[in-house]
Amino acid sequence: MKTVLRNLLCALSVLPFLTLPLNTYAQLNVDDTYTAEELVSTLLGEGVTVSDITIDCPGGAYGYFDCVDCNVGIPNGILLTSGSVGNAVGPNNSPSQSSSLGMPGDPDLDMIPGVLGTNDACVLEFDFTATSDTIRFNYSFGSEEYLEYVGSFNDVFAFYISGPGIAGTDNMALIPGTATTVSINNVNDAVNSEYYNINGTGFNAPFNSDDYYIQYDGFTTVLEAKHAVFPCETYHLKMAIADDLDDALDSGVFIEAGSLTSPGVTVEYNTDIEGYPYIIEGCNEGMITFSLSFAPVDTFTVTLNVDGTALMGSDYTTFNNVLEFLPGDTLIEIPIVAEEDGIDEGVETIIITLDLGCVAGVGDSLVVLVYDALPLLVSADTLICPGTEATLTASGADSYSWSPAETVTDPTEATTTVFPDENTTYTVTGTLASCVNTAETTVEIQEPTADAGADTTIYLGEFASLDADGGVEYSWSPSTGLSETDIENPTASPDFTTTYTVTVTTAIGCEFTDQVTVTVSSDAMVGVPTAFSPNSDGVNDGFTIIVRGQVATWLLQVYNRWGQLVFETDNYAAAWNGTFEGSEQPLGSYVYVLNYKDMNGESFVQQGNFTLVR
């Protein structure tokens, strides 16, 4: 009857929550989309490597949690449950929050004394290698079984470890200082109560109204699971949780992210200059400290793999690459000294990796940079416009001196402005502790680049093609007679002699000017052909006088060999087509007489012969 009533209460209490999504607003936030590999990776801390990760859990029964401001006592990590991770989210407003999944239990959990038969098991397993003699992690176990079903429904979980030196398996989920496993019956308000947190009944405040409190009616304090191991040997860890006897009322175990650790040998690196990371030849020496996280009973040996471009014995002092921690010793220091050799070798590296004898590279590794001199950086060479300033910056030291100081605004600052009136190379001297170095940068002043082209002469009515150079933008003035004013090569057709100024803008914003003069001639130049062929072939079909410039008056007369006037025009563009009164004129020589006056008022008379051919 008790079981029937319990299941009925669970069913009634679950109904209001069946359609709720995973809570993303409460103080406990959960995410059930993580893969097994992602979950285990969040657990990893110092000195542990993992492999062969598997998970056997119903969907939604496992995930990642983030305790923004909740009472679990663990900031974040993974959550394994016998139901749904969403059911752990507070507040505790239900006495029997549950997800009955109808899934099987776990045979190892079934073997725990007092367990009557498990259901809805969630199991995460993986192999691991530790760098020290102890593996450890933090956890807290909570359940909706509290406190009503203490002594009857004993939902259970375990952390099973197996491997070298362990007969079978050991459960790491133990009450501190005992061999007793952590479970509902073993940790509650009456038994081992110092490890138990009361979290309400689902009905009472503030637990049922404040989302600071998680949903489970009770949970343990943060406990540490730890077990002795052999360094660098492979072990197997099985994390399992399940309902006992029935599949009602959820339980869950919170495991802290980053707490799966086995600190072995750690490396600390310092130099003479506090906080400065680089070795500098003849100036800044280093000290590497190797710390063992446990005091060995026997001599504990660690091999250093020393690599890099710097050579031991020639670039830095020789040291033993085998560390021997004598019984009780936990600290070994090795100095790194690079003598000044005057050779420009560039930046060299010393790479030190710990090899504990099982997997190469297990443990901390260290990369040390060795410089020939204080690495002083300075602004790149720069180009400025005449009459402007440049900002220069140096870094790598803690005090600076710029020279020549006459054109430097702040000669002792890391960042300063300079205002040279000619090309100038600036030298900055940087000092850090006893290390001194110099660096140079050149500030050049851009030379005038504008070129408007050569002066030119045109006849009135003609145009000149201008062609400037020396920039990326152009502006011409005056605009009189120009086709465009903002291009490199406009055409100019002024009515009178004009000097044009072009303003050239360079790629860095400098402006320079140049001038070009277009001389406009008022003269007229005529060119008379010696023959023409009016045969309608489109070539030389008319007797045309070529005129450059403009004329004020014009009279052209053509006479045949008998002195008869056969053509006359006052239009300098008109051409004689070789006819007279509609008749084609014979082949032969003809006389032209040209009278014209140019725009200066000067009169000209020109005459001569030409030939008509067909």
Contacts of 177 (CB under 8 A, 6+ apart): none
Q: Is the pLDDT of residue 363 over 80?
A: no
Confidence of residue 166 (pLDDT cuts 50, 70, 90): very high
Euclidean distance between CA atoms 81 and 60, whole angstroms: 9
Q: Which helix (H) or strand (E) holds 10?
A: helix 2-14
Confidence of residue 355 (pLDDT cuts 50, 70, 90): low
Euclidean distance between CA atoms 389 and 124, whole angstroms: 66
Give per-residue burial for 530-542: e unless 16+ CB within 10 Å, then b: eebbbeeeeeeee
Confirm if 153 and 253 have CB atoms less than 8 A apart. no
- Lowest mean pLDDT, pick from 142-151, 169-178, 233-242: 142-151
Residue listed under structure tokens 């191991």: 229
Confidence of residue 356 (pLDDT cuts 50, 70, 90): low
23 vs 147, more confident: 147
| pLDDT at 17 (0 to 100) | 34
pLDDT digits (tens, 9 = 90+) for 477-492: 999 999 999 999 999 9
Q: Is the pLDDT of residue 266 over 80?
A: no
Q: Is the pLDDT of residue 26 over 90?
A: no
pLDDT digits (tens, 9 = 90+) for 498-508: 999 999 999 99
The arithmetic mean of pLDDT across residues 140-145, rounded, is 95
Q: Which helix (H) or strand (E) holds 567?
A: strand 565-569
Euclidean distance between CA atoms 473 and 590, whole angstroms: 57
Confirm if 423 and 434 have CB atoms less than 8 A apart. no
Secondary-structure percent of the chain, ordered helix, strand, coil, rounded to 5: 5, 45, 50
- Per DSSP, helices labelled H in 66-124 are 107-110
306 vs 10, more confident: 306
Confidence of residue 514 (pLDDT cuts 50, 70, 90): very high
Nearest to 279 by CA among 380, 373, 212, 201: 373
Euclidean distance between CA atoms 579 and 577, whole angstroms: 6
Phi/psi for 439 (5° steps) reads -145, 155
| pLDDT at 291 (0 to 100) | 82
Ranges assigned E (strand) in 245-343 = 251-256, 265-271, 279-280, 286-292, 300-307, 322-325, 331-336
Q: Is the pLDDT of residue 18 over 60?
A: no
- Domains assigned to the chain: 2-256 (no CATH), 265-371 (2.60.40.2030), 377-445 (2.60.40.10), 456-521 (2.60.40.10), 525-612 (2.60.40.3080)
The arithmetic mean of pLDDT across residues 454-469, rounded, is 94
Residue type, 149: Y
| Cα angle, residue 19 at apex, residues 15 and 25 outer, rounded to 5° | 115
The arithmetic mean of pLDDT across residues 300-317, rounded, is 90
| pLDDT at 230 (0 to 100) | 86
Q: Is the pLDDT of residue 361 over 80?
A: no
Q: Is the pLDDT of residue 513 over 80?
A: yes
The arithmetic mean of pLDDT across residues 118-137, rounded, is 92
| pLDDT at 429 (0 to 100) | 98
Confidence of residue 10 (pLDDT cuts 50, 70, 90): very low
Q: Which helix (H) or strand (E) holds 38?
A: helix 36-43
pLDDT digits (tens, 9 = 90+) for 364-375: 568 999 999 999
Residue type, 125: E
Q: Is the pLDDT of residue 463 over 50?
A: yes
In the chain, what percentage of residues exceed pLDDT 70?
93
Average pLDDT value over all residues in the chain: 90
Euclidean distance between CA atoms 220 and 521, whole angstroms: 107
Q: Which two tokens stand for residue 373?
A: 């001199």
